[in-house]
Amino acid sequence: MELTPIVSPEAWHEARQALLVKEKELTRASDALAAQRRRMPRMAVTKDYVFEGPNGQVSLLDLFEGRSQLVVYRFFYEPGVHGWPESGCTGCSLMADQVGHLSHLNARDITYARVSRAPQADIVGLKERMGWAGPWYTITDDFDVDFDVDEWHGTNVFLRDGDDVFRTYFVNLRGDEALGSVWSYMDLAPFGRQEAWEDSPPGYPQSGPYEWWKRHDEHVAGQAAAPSASL
């Protein structure tokens, strides 16, 4: 293995500053991409999708849990997947391990949920085994086919306006595997992080940075702290 050269502290800091310039360029480009993502057109969802939850059948609208934004991750867990039924897709499992505490998303009016074709009994067992939290539903119809996740994994994002649901974003493959932090999901959401520094369309909900930040046990359970924009 050919390791990098050993240099003085002064030379190391000089190299660090040169790299920092590139890193800041990447951060600004990421912010600009998120701003463009918030301006994506909406696609109306016109079919009535049905999922099986721990308490029976629910609709796509129910998955929002009363909030205005919904992030749905298709976890590849079903008959035919390697390790079934004791295990789900290895990559999906790794992603589940890195998802941040959902109370912070809920505080910004965002619900995160997983969906799979596995029966609820198997989903409950896998959640208990792996220590995963959060809602997880069984697909019972063509939802996965219609939203580009009939195989492997993918993340769809939706916006609710009353009882009307719209698809706003989709990502999979390497763009999907990098997700997991609270900030990464907010950057996919229709309203973003909802902080005043963001470049968002007029009327989108925003507040000052840090104002809404709390420890996860200090958020009000089930809350949707950010007001929904008028669409």
Task: Report domain extents, the chain.
Answer: 9-39, 41-194+205-218
Q: 231 CB contacts (<8 Å, ≥6 apart)?
A: 159, 161
Q: Are the beta carbons of 182 and 197 closer than 8 angstroms? A: no
CA–CA gap between residue 108 and residue 103 (Å, rounded): 9
| pLDDT attached to residue 225 | 42
> What's the mean pLDDT when you consider all of the chain?
94
Residue 85, preceding peptide bond in cis (omega within 30° of 0)? yes
**Amino acid (1-letter code) at residue 176:** D
Low-confidence ranges of the chain (pLDDT < 50): 225-231
Beta-carbon contacts of residue 73 (< 8 Å; ≥ 6 apart):
92, 95, 112, 113, 114, 115, 153, 154, 155
Calpha distance 79→111 (Å, rounded): 27
Vertex 183: Cα angle to 179 and 186 (nearest 5): 90
Q: pLDDT value at position 112? A: 98
Residue type for position 219: H
H/E segment holding residue 169: strand 164-171
Q: Using CA atoms, how far apart are residues 158 and 169, in angstroms rounded to an integer? A: 7
Starting at the earlier edge strand, list the strands of the sheet with 164-171. 43-44, 164-171, 154-161, 69-74, 110-116, 136-139, 50-53, 56-59
Identify any residues that bridge with 112 across adjacent strands, giving them in sequence order. 71
Q: What pLDDT is stored for residue 175 in this prediction?
A: 87
CATH classification for the domain delimited by 41-194+205-218, as one of 3.40.50.12780, 3.40.30.10, 3.40.50.300, 3.90.550.10: 3.40.30.10
Which pLDDT belongs to residue 223? 62
CB neighbours (10 Å) of residue 132?
16
- Residue pair 146/44 in contact by the 8 Å Cβ criterion: no
Torsion angle of C-alpha atoms 35, 154, 42, 162, degrees rounded to 10: -110
The pLDDT value given to residue 222: 59
* Amino acid symbol at 21: V
